Amino acid sequence: MCCVPFLCDYLINDCACNANFLVMQDFLKPGESNERRCDSPEALKARRCKGDHVINPGKHPLTYVKNSDLSSDHENVVQLRPQNINIKLRVGVPFEFRVEFRRAVGYPIDLYYLMDLSYSMKDDLEQIKTLGQKILKKLKDITDTVRIGFGSFVDKEMLPYVSQVKARRRNPCPNRIDTCQPAFSFKNVLPLTHDAREFEREVSKQDISGNLDAPEAGLDAIMQAAVCKDKIKWGDVTRILVYTSDDTFHMAGDGRLGGVFQPHNGQCHLNDNGSYNGRAYDYPSVGHVSRVLQDNNIQLIFAVTEDIYPAYKALSALIPQSVVGVLKNDSSNVVDLISEAYGNLSSTLVLEQEGAPKELDVSYKSTCKGNQADSEWKEKGVCQGIKHEQIAFNVRLNASACLKEPQTFRIKMQGINEEVKITVHTECHCDCGVPEKASKHCSSTGTLSCGVCSCDEGHLGQRCECVQQSDADSIINMLASCRPDNGSLVCSGHGTCECGKCVCHGHYSGKFCECDDNSCEYHNNHLCNGKGRCKCGTCHCTEDYTGSACECSPSQDKCMNDKGLCSGQGKCTCNRCQCNEGFKGEHCSAFTDECSVDKTTLIIGISVSSIIFIGIIIIIIYRCLLELYDIREYQNFVKAQKQTEWKEVMYMQRHSVLLNG
């Protein structure tokens, strides 16, 4: 927010001004920084800035240049809305807007079939020769308008990829029984057409070929199929490239084996016969291929055999809007594979920015099926499992710095040729009319613009009232008056010394800018609860609010009942009753029952005593039983002892009789 007039283009929240800047020339107090003109509306009004002088440059930031309704009409298909907007941003202030998408029903499809014709694909070629009608029929379950084309690839026409022996060059088949056509990098056999029979006729004319090494020129072929738009005859429709192979692919750098060091330039190099030999440029990098496919809105389906599936799965992860399917060894399942892969591609929607300036952060929240929205802002907007339902994305823009001039970038849906064009302006300057030179407000030694004096050379101060001294002693004395003591920083490091007085920056104040007017307590996420002003670390409350954070409301409604304020037995503090001794409750309406406390103590005492008494009785009984047991055992011992003595006497008597016998 800004109190007219002032341009605060060096603050985070930039301000705009209007032509009535002379009205508030005396808004600032002597020695105050010009930054004080920028604040919240409440703070500005509290400092006698009238409401009609408070300008909020954040109003009406969005202008629609084109905002056509979503439509599936084949004459005017609209899947993404809006189409063109202008946005005015304030630096550091995020702005959000909504983008809607609904896939058009029956949207036309162009499908270009790109096939590996190396010798190991011989049986696959026989299958493809009869698949034109089946592919078109399957795709017409999705849309009425389908075109199909065919291209093929082998490898670069040089060693060590392709044999240069004349006989092997003419017929690169590994045995003499078969006849193969010479190898080539890429050949546009049939541009996109509605005629399925023409597809079958042209494909049936194709012969298998061969090369020396296992990897093929697949990336070379994808590049040419994508960038040669006129020769492939890509339409402004859904574009699908089906890639079939049973082996891996050469990557950037592999061309050096054949003496090719020139990186691929991303251009179309087809000759008049629709062929590309690959001799001039290295194989393209994966990143280059990915970027070209995105730029041309081409969705890629890899149909590859099971043994090389992992390699293409890793490749697909690097190429947006691509999927991988397992192709049977003879390509007999290719029709179903294409249908399933297209369904997977079309059900995943990814919205992302393209070409945004570095000063602008773009993030997304997706609202997909069932109004399930993201909880956090993400780098891309993603929805999965989508058919033809309408979905929405919230887009947030946040400028980190002022843009020198308006910047245009685009938000696109991967694989869709529609886009949202966004032109961003940053509000960093004010148009305050013609500056007033030698203004009396500026002591006739400065220019008044937007209510602020720009002083002539040799003059300083809020109104250019100070003459800048060149004498060293004068400067030292001036700086000394801006320090509380010799060991301190000038203006405590939070301001500048002008005319011997501190002009504080930001939220600092005081004679020496020693006070931080943003260091008070927070309550309810607001400084001083939003009910006061922070001055030098202390909240100065308004509207009769009290407390260190102005957290105490002057209202007493929660302290009142039918018996009056706190039932007449307490005082209301911070809209809560503080009860007198002997009373309790929300309104101090209940007595504190001392008898119940004594009763509780008595019960606890009796319980503890009973437990102790019972324990003593148990111990006594145990000791008595133990004593009885000992007595009984002793009596048994004595009895046993007597029996032993009697037996010994009897033995002696018998022994004596025998001896005397």
Model pLDDT for residues 596-632, shown as the tens digit of each residue: 557 667 778 888 888 888 989 998 998 888 888 888 8
Q: Which of 313, 348, 383 is the last residue of a domain?
A: 348
| Residue 250: predicted pLDDT | 94
Q: Using CA atoms, how far apart are residues 602 and 365, in angstroms rounded to an integer?
A: 64
624 membership: H or E segment, kind and range:
helix 594-660
- Single residue among 348, 364, 397 that ends a domain in this structure: 348
pLDDT tens track for 496-523: 887 788 888 878 888 888 898 888 998 8
Most confident of the following: 254-258, 449-453, 488-492, 639-643? 254-258
Q: Can you spell out the DSSP letters for 13-65?
A: S-----S-GGGGTT-SPTT--GGGGB--HHHHHHTT--GGGEE-TTSS-EEEE
458 lies in a domain?
A: no
Q: Taking 70 as the threshold, does the pLDDT of residue 432 lie above it?
A: no
Rounded to whole angstroms, the Cα distance separating 632 from 511 reads 101
Tell if the pTM clears 0.75, that is, is over it.
no
pLDDT band at 582 (very low <50, low <70, confident <90, very high): confident
Which domain CATH number covers 574?
Answer: 2.10.25.10
Query: And the tokens for 115?
Result: 């096939």
- Whether 118 and 242 map to the same domain: the answer is yes
**212 and 76 in one domain?**
no
The band of 554, judged by pLDDT with boundaries at 50, 70 and 90, is confident
For the chain, what percent of residues have pLDDT higher than 70?
A: 87
Whether 317 and 329 share a structural domain? yes
Any domain includes 118: yes
- Please give the average per-residue pLDDT across 92-109, as a whole number: 89
Q: Is the Cα torsion angle 285, 286, 291, 297 positive or negative in sign? A: positive
Same domain, 343 and 410: no
What single-letter amino acid sits at 20? N
Q: Are residues 375 and 344 in the same domain?
A: no
pLDDT digits (tens, 9 = 90+) for 226-274: 999 999 999 988 899 999 999 999 999 999 999 999 999 999 999 999 9
With respect to residue 496, please indicate whether it lies within any of the assigned structural domains: no
Domain total in the chain: 3
- Residue 410 CA to residue 187 CA, distance in Å, equals 34
Which of 300, 216, 223 is closest to 264 using CA atoms?
223
- Taking CA atoms, 227 is separated from 115, 266, 271, 316, in Å, by 17, 7, 14, 19
Q: Which position has the higher pLDDT, 134 or 357?
A: 357
Alpha-carbon distance of 233 to 236, in angstroms, equals 10
What token pair was written down for 457?
């050379």
Query: The domain that contains 181 carries what CATH number?
Result: 3.40.50.410
Mean pLDDT of 558-582: 87
Are 317 and 262 part of one and the same domain?
A: yes
Report the amino acid identity of residue 15: C
* Predicted local confidence at residue 421, as pLDDT: 96
Q: Is residue 644 part of a domain?
A: no
460 within some domain: no
Q: Are residues 150 and 260 in the same domain?
A: yes
358 and 327, same structural domain? no
- Domain extent, residue 410, equals 62-104+350-426
Amino acid identity for residue 323 in this structure: V
Between 149 and 639, residue with greater pLDDT: 149
Q: Same structural domain for residues 84 and 186?
A: no
Q: Are 79 and 101 in contact (CB under 8 A)?
A: yes
**Cβ of 82: how many Cβ atoms within 10 Å?**
19
Amino acid identity for residue 347 in this structure: S
37 inside domain: no
**According to the model, what pLDDT value does residue 632 have?**
84
Q: Which of 18-27, 47-56, 637-646 has the lowest mean pLDDT?
A: 18-27
Q: What is the pLDDT of residue 191?
A: 96
Q: Are residues 259 and 381 in the same domain?
A: no
